Every structure is written in structure tokens, then in C-alpha cells.
Chain A
């Protein structure tokens, strides 16, 4: 099956629209191929090679989220900006060897198994079943453990406010629930942001990357990073140069603490009988002759 980019985009658009009607419960799997986790989730494939750097996504994001308008001046480009509490997405520019620019839009990666949501003790950051990692300010106590946990350093904090929130891209979860596309996706004129189901977008990414080995870097950023993310990137510039964290583990981050979180059940089950057993042994003599010590410790029921 071969798709031109345009027909693919139409397909992805149609898929997206279909998904908006019925939230995915089962992924569309190719026969004989096991669907992998996250296949049915809403995703975006960013093809940086077609991004024209218009930054309409930044403006749309600001509008949708009620953030201050981004300055669309080109002076921001040498900065390699990070997202911030008042800018959930930024477009950065790198100059390639041939002197031409390459643009990359950055925002929350929306992991399949997000570290931030697993780290949040009050589930203020919570994964929506259809993909987005959403934020509920009313639950958040401001511990900032999500910021420690996120391997992409995405969650940002309103340090300047007396009543602060964690701020990050929510993949327009609420808009998506209403059947709308995410703000940035809706305005992208170049086809750099391809919206659809992750499984299908991943196939398309592979087709493009591995089908054009001399054009693309042979890696899909987000396919395996942190176990897989819903925003995936393909490009022709080394990912490091584009400002991506390349030291991100290829495992689900919540899995890292599985062993440590196994401690409480063991301790709660074993400690009391163990300690009482020790107590019984160390105090056996006293029980025998009924001569408990003068201290506070020797009390028996």
C-alpha cells in the first residue's frame, strides 16, 4: 500500500474525524500484527522537513489557551527557546549545513505512559484514555515532582504567582472531547503536523523515514523514547541539534519505580509479625520469671 503524502493526510484527517465521533476503544490493527499500546491514541507526526516556520501554531496555541500573543518577530530564533508557563509550544530554528533553515515545533510529548502523571500524588496530571496528558489545577498542590520526573523537561511552573499552576500543552484535551482538533494542528498550513491515530502515523513515519534513507535521519523520535510518545518527529537534522533530549530511556518511566513501590506491601505485611516475634524472643526470660525490668519497655498484656 503506497500513499502519497496528500492522500495520507486526507486519510489521517478522515481517521481523526472518525475518531472524534467514537472515542477509540480498540486499535485498528493489521491482521496478524499485535497492536502495540498507544496505537489507538490520538497522535501527531511532526515532519520537520516540510515545516515552513510560520509559527501559526504558536499563535493558535496562545489563542486557544488564553496565553499572551507570541511575538512573531524573527529575533526569537537564535534563542532556541524552551516552552514556558505562558508559551506551551515554541518553534525553534536551526541552520543546516547548506545554510537553509530547519524549524522544529516543541511542546509536551504526551507519553503513552507519562512519567509526570505517574509521579503526581494527587493525579492533577492525568492521562486521558484517548491520548492527551491533561492537567487539573484544582487538584494540584504544587509539589513540582512532575517537573523532576519528566524526561523531556516539559512541565513549567508559574513561579511568579502567589497561587501558581503547572503549565504545559494539554494536547487540547478539552477541545478534542468537544470534537475539535488541537489548536496548533488546525492551523498548520504546511502539512508538518499530521494528526491521527498513533499506530497509523507510526507506519507513515516509517514509510517516509526508511523509504527515503538519504533524506531523513533514520530515527523516529518518540517511537520508543520514554516507551513511546504521542508526538513523534522525523527530520533530516540530527535530533540533538534540534534540541531534543537524546539520553531519554526507551522504557516506560512509571515502570522504573515498580521495584521501589513493591516495598510498602512487603514491609506492611512482614514487619509487624517480625518485630513482634523479636519482641517475644527478647522478652521471653522476663515472662518466665515474671521479673520485668524497671524501664518503660517491659509491659506485657
Chain B
């Protein structure tokens, strides 16, 4: 194959690769649709707030308190962001290790989502940390008794692995053939590492709460919470891939031209896997409640009912919908199940880190508008970055000229 980009001037490379062959005014004029402008405005506001937060302190920007040290920047951006990034290792393992080649077409988008998810979670974390520059201390002190120490190392290691995995399409796009083919050979090894680090990281995010038995409601607290977090990360991974590929197909459908991917078949297969894992998760969670002697709390008071909403509405219901859809070949049902399952995992992470946390305290934490806006703008950055990348790099489609 001889499709090396023509060695030309820097400007034409820029035009070809970045502006997709258009001139800058053309490019800007064409892309500046209302939703994009709105997103950019929100992002600008969010970035301004981040600057403000570092200037004025956490107290000025957030509703955090002495009793509520963690808010939605940890509960949503970190906990949920990492969980929704689980598609990267789930699909990576399915393709590279389990040899399920039919899922190959969604491997790169899943890895890209994982990579962006981690980057955004790290940005959220930096914004939340009081003295983020002291993060390097993690590499200098042996905080080996700390779950957060494990989390920190997993974040560092897995983000590096994701960067390397993403480097495969990136260098393919740049046309650096040697680097690309070298990296491609490491993909199997990287996938093994990604499964390893993800197993540890996803579970450790749950383990963070084991040391706070007096703060987390007994229906959610469990010394086995790390198992729940890992299994639900698998659910999130599978479901996110379905959701994402449905959206991607709708939005980026023209990029799939010539791919011959039977998206419906993939979705049904993923739905079957989702049903099995979610069913296991449902009973694991019940087991956790029994194990924690918390059965009496089910249905009792606000938290007892809230727990039922999560377990019945966002775990059992999508499980059954997954199973029904996969069995009766209803792709739409599987997609809905996936969307509900994703919401359910978000719900679960928020419950554990924010809503059912400090359940016994009188003063409740409600995020400030600034916290919400920063979180929203981080999500928007992720979406725009995803769009920008898939319009250029061989993520959803092979590069033009390569078969």
C-alpha cells in the first residue's frame, strides 16, 4: 500500500489533516452550527469557572463542606467517567483476547471513549484537588495502605496504556508507518495490561468507600463493594458501546460506508452479554445486602425506597429488557436497555458517592451551579473531542485509500 501523504508544505498538511481540505474561513463557517456555538460557550464558561476555582478556592466555587468532602466532581466526573470508560477494555478484550473479531469495528471507538473518559476524569480530579501539583507525591511516598494510592497508580498506568492504544489510529492517521506498525504489534500486550489495570481500578473505586462504614447507607455499603464496582463496570462497558455505536451510526453514518458492519447483529450479541452480566450483578447486590445485615432497610424510609428504584428500575428492568430484546431479536429494545443500564450505573455511582453518602447527616449536600457547569462543560469537551477525532482519524472507518 502506497498511500503516504504527499510530502508537501506545512500549510497544506494542516489544511488536509486538520481542516479536512478546506480553508480556515470555510472550515469555521461550515462548522459553526448553533449546537456547536452553544457547546463552545458552555465550555468557555466552564473553563473560566475552573480558573476562578483555583483563584478563589474550593469553598467559593463549590458547596463542599467539612462534612461533605467529596461532591459531584468526584462522584460524577471521576466515579462515573471512569465507569463509562469501561468499554475500552471490555471490547478490547473481546476482540484481541477472546478473538471475537466481529466486534473489531467498535474496538477503536470504545478505546477512544475510554481514553477521553480518563482524560476528563483526570481534569475533574485536578480541579477538585486542593493542591494538584502534589500529585507527584504519590510516586514518592509509600501510601500502600491506601486504596486511593492504588487508584492513583491505576489512573496513571491505565491512562498511559489507553494513550498507547489510541496512538495506533493516531499514527496511522499521521502516516508514520513505522511507528504505527510497531504499535500495532503491541496491541495484544496493551490489551492484557488494559484488562489488568481496569480490573484493579474499577474495583478500587468501590473499595474507597469500605473505610467509611458509618457514612455510606447500609444498603449500598458492603465490604465486597469492589466486586460490585467491577461487575457493574463490565455492564457499563457493554452498554456504553451499544449506546455509543447507536449514536455514532446515526450521526456518523456516512463514515460507515463500505464497512459492511452488521451493527444490529453486534448490538444483539452485546445485549445477550449485557443480560447475563446484569443478572449476575442483580443477585450479587442482593447478596451484598444480606451479607451486610441490611435487609431490614429495604423499602424503609427515603433511602430504602431510593434503593428499590435503583435496583428494580435501573438494574432488574434493563436486565429483563436486554434478555427479551436479545432473545426476540429486537434491536431497539436492546438499545433502550443499554441506555437505561448506563443511566443506572451513573445513578449507582452518584448514590454511593453523593446521595446515600452522609445519609445520617442533617445538612445535605447539593452541588452549586458552578460545580454543575464545570461538570457539564467537561462532558461537552469530551463529546466535541470525540467528534473532532472521528472526523479525521481512522476510528470509525479505515483511512481512505486503505482498502
Interface of A (DSSP majority class): loop
Report if A118-B145 is in contact (Cβ < 8 Å); known contacts: A142-B129, A144-B70, A261-B150: yes
Does B294 have its Cβ within 8 Å of any Cβ on chain A? no
Does A3 have its Cβ within 8 Å of any Cβ on chain B? no
Does A64 have its Cβ within 8 Å of any Cβ on chain B? no
Report if A140-B101 is in contact (Cβ < 8 Å); known contacts: A162-B55, A271-B192, A271-B195: no
Does A50 have its Cβ within 8 Å of any Cβ on chain B? no
B62, B134, B184: the one within 8 Å of A141 (CB):
B134
Interface of B (DSSP majority class): helix
Does A95 have its Cβ within 8 Å of any Cβ on chain B? no
Interface residues in A170-226 (C-beta closer than 8 Å to B): none
> Which residues does B use to contact A, with CB under 8 Å?
54-60, 62, 64-67, 69-70, 93, 95-99, 101, 104, 107, 128-135, 137-138, 140-152, 168, 184-185, 187-188, 191-192, 195-196, 199-200, 203-204, 206-215, 223-226
Given contacts A121-B138, A159-B59, A160-B60, could you give 8 more A-B pairs where the C-beta distance is less than 8 Å? A143-B129, A147-B69, A164-B57, A263-B226, A264-B204, A271-B199, A272-B192, A297-B187
| Residues of chain B lying within 8 A (CB to CB) of residue A70 | none
Interface residues in A14-46 (C-beta closer than 8 Å to B): none
- B141 and A123 within 8 A (CB): yes
Rounded to whole Å, the gap between the CB of B268 and the closest CB of chain A is: 20
Does A296 have its Cβ within 8 Å of any Cβ on chain B? yes
A139, A272, A299: the one within 8 Å of B184 (CB):
A299
- A296 and B184 within 8 A (CB): yes
- B58 and A148 within 8 A (CB): no
How far is it, in angstroms, between the C-alpha of A257 and the C-alpha of B187 when the chains are bound? 34
A162, A260, A264, A294: the one within 8 Å of B210 (CB):
A260
Interface residues in A268-288 (C-beta closer than 8 Å to B): 268, 271-272, 275-276, 278-279, 282-283
Does A8 have its Cβ within 8 Å of any Cβ on chain B? no
How far is it, in angstroms, between the C-alpha of A99 and the C-alpha of B205 when the chains are bound? 49
How far is it, in angstroms, between the C-alpha of A82 and the C-alpha of B146 when the chains are bound? 26
13 A-B pairs with C-beta separation under 8 A: A117-B145, A121-B152, A123-B143, A139-B134, A141-B137, A157-B69, A157-B130, A158-B130, A162-B56, A260-B203, A264-B200, A267-B199, A296-B104
- A161 and B208 within 8 A (CB): no
- B107 and A122 within 8 A (CB): no
Does A5 have its Cβ within 8 Å of any Cβ on chain B? no
- B211 and A257 within 8 A (CB): yes
- B200 and A153 within 8 A (CB): no
B60, B128, B212, B223: the one within 8 Å of A149 (CB):
B212
| Residues of chain A lying within 8 A (CB to CB) of residue B97 | 275, 278-279, 282
- A297 and B223 within 8 A (CB): no
How far is it, in angstroms, between the C-alpha of A215 and the C-alpha of B195 when the chains are bound? 61
| Residues of chain B lying within 8 A (CB to CB) of residue A296 | 95, 104, 107, 168, 184, 187
| Residues of chain B lying within 8 A (CB to CB) of residue A271 | 192, 195-196, 199
- A160 and B57 within 8 A (CB): yes
Rounded to whole Å, the gap between the CB of B12 and the closest CB of chain A is: 30
- A118 and B66 within 8 A (CB): no
> Which residues does A use to contact B, with CB under 8 Å?
82, 84, 115, 117-124, 138-145, 147-149, 151, 153, 156-165, 245, 247-249, 253-254, 256-257, 259-261, 263-264, 267-268, 271-272, 275-276, 278-279, 282-283, 293-299, 301
Q: Which 10 A-B pairs have the closest CB atoms?
A: A142-B130, A159-B59, A282-B99, A260-B207, A141-B134, A144-B69, A147-B69, A122-B137, A121-B149, A121-B143
| Residues of chain A lying within 8 A (CB to CB) of residue B141 | 121-123, 139
How far is it, in angstroms, between the C-alpha of A294 and the C-alpha of B59 when the chains are bound? 55
How far is it, in angstroms, between the C-alpha of A145 and the C-alpha of B129 when the chains are bound? 10
- B146 and A119 within 8 A (CB): yes
B57, B99, B150, B200: the one within 8 Å of A161 (CB):
B57
- A268 and B196 within 8 A (CB): yes
Report if A164-B131 is in contact (Cβ < 8 Å); known contacts: A263-B204, A296-B104: yes
- B192 and A256 within 8 A (CB): no
- A249 and B192 within 8 A (CB): no
Report if A163-B131 is in contact (Cβ < 8 Å); known contacts: A115-B211, A263-B226: yes
| Residues of chain B lying within 8 A (CB to CB) of residue A263 | 199-200, 203-204, 207, 226
- Nearest B-chain residue to A153, judged by Cβ: B67
How far is it, in angstroms, between the C-alpha of A197 and the C-alpha of B302 when the chains are bound? 46
| Residues of chain A lying within 8 A (CB to CB) of residue B104 | 295-297
| Residues of chain B lying within 8 A (CB to CB) of residue A299 | 184-185, 187-188
| Residues of chain A lying within 8 A (CB to CB) of residue B107 | 296
| Residues of chain B lying within 8 A (CB to CB) of residue A138 | 134
- Nearest A-chain residue to B139, judged by Cβ: A122
| Residues of chain A lying within 8 A (CB to CB) of residue B69 | 144-145, 147-148, 157
